[in-house]
Structure 1
Amino acid sequence: MKILLRRLVAMFALTAIASGSATAIADESARLIIRVDDIGMTHATNQGLKDLAELNIPFAASVMFTTPWYQEGVEILKKNPQISAGVHLTLNAEWRYYRWGPIAGRNEVPSLINETGYFYPSTAEFLAQDINLDEVKLELEAQIQRALETGLDIAYVDYHMRTALSTPEMVEVVSDLAKKYELRMSMRMGEAYTTMFDVPIDQKKQRFLTHLDTKLVSNKTNMLIIHAARNHPEMQALIDLNNPIMNTEDMEPLVALHRSTELDMLLSPEVKKRFASGKIKLINYHDVPNPFAKNGGSPEKTQ
């Protein structure tokens, strides 16, 4: 009888262990936000967003509300609630012949613009000026207000070329605005993040697959920064005045190849297979607690 009882106890113990292991495996699914930047920059960028939206997976899209094509990007996002929208806070315009400037008004923020009335191409050039922090706040708040006025459910802010985080004083400005408008601050909430931006074109896909397979952290939110666009003539003409990796040594533009490669990478069967494996839980920023929300910061919705 005692032997039988011991066997039954052992069986129950093994069952519990197996059940616990299965639960642990399920709980170890890595939470991943794919953040697609520069929405609204061009029609080709918006079309890349449209291609990704058709995957019907949760991700985040960061809109540049200073750029000519932002309204098209907004309309795509309104049709795709599985994508959380963010404000890509913009203080630079880095392309030769294709520039933009402040939406608060050039006369209102003169320290933020060059002699032609556009933003400076690089963070270094921006910081070399006698920047007025009140003007920074005025411009960034104008971008947030424009975003909210579109009717989009804005979940977060982030930072084009990270210029808005380039000094402690700038971080304080952005933090104050995030608190005022109850918006999450991407990259400032403990995420484990990386970017595919400066990965060589011929290495992007394999680097991305390797990251999905081996680099995701199971005990925190992971975030991958993507720049995706269709390989259209408007992208092919862009010459980056800020980052030399986006051009050849002869200044032939490579940005269209970089961004179309990242788009094709996300649309590839290999990546779709990994997303369907159950080892990765795709989320967006609405699924992340909001430290500035008056409702206590709980996620607003779960995809």
Structure 2
Amino acid sequence: MNRLQWLEKLGLRPGERAVVLHADDVGLCQATLEAYRRIHADGCLSSASVMAPSPWLPALAELCQRGDHDLGVHLVLNSEWSSFRFAPVSGLAAASSLVDAQGYFWASARDTHAHARPGEVRQELEAQIQRLRSLGLSPSHLDSHMLTLVAPGLLSIYADLGLTHGLPISLIRLSAEGLARLCNIGAEAAQRAHGELLQATAAGQVLFDAWAELPLNDAGDRFSHCQRLLGGLPEGVSLLISHPAVDAPELRALAPDWAARVADTCLHLDPRLPKALEAEGLKLLRMRELMQAWRELQPGAATGERFRAWPRPAH
């Protein structure tokens, strides 16, 4: 797919900049749902992604019965905290290589890379997409929790899932060295992942021009930090990631980085944020806009030949 055509479909001329303000980990706990509810009603946010293994997913689906929501699937293959764990939604018997001795997802991406069998990865991720659809949610994109899928053997599954379902995935154009730094994988693995990244773009997947993330290890002056990140975004389409949640006992008990997550909520509710976007000349885009522009430029998309078609479930 021609990238310049895609940018033009999004209303961007050469040299112009756009950003998707994106909230990760929605559904992690009730505090993330409340943050999303408040920001969706009164804040500045253009998209979010949802953790399908979360027990709070039905509550989120109920919240989304009203209003216009732009939600993707935050594909989960890891459960990183010792006292708060997620398990596969496809069933343990069908996902034995994806779990530790207690039946939960591996704690680290490195463990997943060492044990996971590709067939079971594909089956589990399909089940996570289907779980959202079964609750009436219509995904606008896919992304990867902890970037676990940006690794050799898994990146091709990630890209193909997007092509199969007609959904863009969260990837950026990077060299092998850039992938090694971003995903904390070895040089040889990064070279192989880079090859799969090139294959994904050749198959028609679109990539972001830049990817910025508000740090979870520093809850200091969030607005100033965000301003610096916005100012450094290049021309084209960028993704800026946050992890909003409201302050609550459950959040404090499970997440050592709870203060940064609460700070992200305050940022998205800050009336200065839309003005900062305007001052930087940044167009705010939704993932659903990216999805629609991408689909319209794919061969066979208009006739439904390229993507697996499904009816949007009624609420």
**TM-score band w.r.t. shorter chain:** 0.7 to 0.9
1:295 has 2:302 as partner: yes
Q: What is the 5 A alignment of 1:34-113? A: 34-55=21-42, 57=44, 59-81=46-68, 83-113=69-99
Q: CA deviation at 1:210?
A: 1.8
SS class of match (1:94) = coil
Tell me the residue number matched to 1:190: 207
Question: Relative CO higher for 1 or 2, CA cutoff 8 Å, sep ≥ 6?
Answer: 2
Q: Residues of 2 paired with 1:57 and 1:263: CA distance? A: 10
**Correspondence for 2:121 among 136, 147, 164:** 136
Tell me the residue number matched to 2:219: 201
Check the 8 A contact 1:190/1:220 in 2, yes or no: no
Query: Over the residues paired in the alignment, what is the CA RMSD in angstroms?
Result: 2.4
Tell me the residue number matched to 1:250: none
Check the 8 A contact 1:104/1:142 in 2, yes or no: yes
Deviates more, 1:183-192 or 1:141-150: 183-192
AA partner of residue 76 (structure 1): L
Q: CA deviation at 1:151?
A: 2.1
Q: CA deviation at 1:205?
A: 2.8
AA partner of residue 160 (structure 1): H
Stretches of structure 1 lacking an aligned partner (at least 5 in a row): 1-24, 240-252, 298-303
Q: Residues of 2 paired with 1:73 and 1:120: CA distance? A: 25
Q: Residues of 2 paired with 1:28 and 1:179: CA distance? A: 28
Q: Residues of 2 paired with 1:95 and 1:271: CA distance? A: 32
Q: CA deviation at 1:57?
A: 4.9
Check the 8 A contact 2:245/2:262 in 1, yes or no: yes
SS class of match (2:149) = helix
Greater C-alpha radius of gyration = 1
Check the 8 A contact 1:39/1:62 in 2, yes or no: yes
TM-score, length basis structure 1? 0.77
Q: CA deviation at 1:204?
A: 3.3
Check the 8 A contact 1:28/1:279 in 2, yes or no: no
Q: What is the 5 A alignment of 1:93-172? A: 93-129=79-115, 131-165=116-150, 167-172=151-156
Q: What count of residue pairs does the alignment treat as equivalent? A: 254
The percent of aligned pairs where both chains have the same amino acid is: 28
Tell me the residue number matched to 2:177: none
Stretches of structure 2 lacking an aligned partner (at least 5 in a row): 1-11, 173-205, 305-315
1:258 has 2:255 as partner: no
Q: Residues of 1 paired with 2:270 and 2:62: CA distance? A: 25
AA partner of residue 50 (structure 2): V
Q: CA deviation at 1:295?
A: 2.6
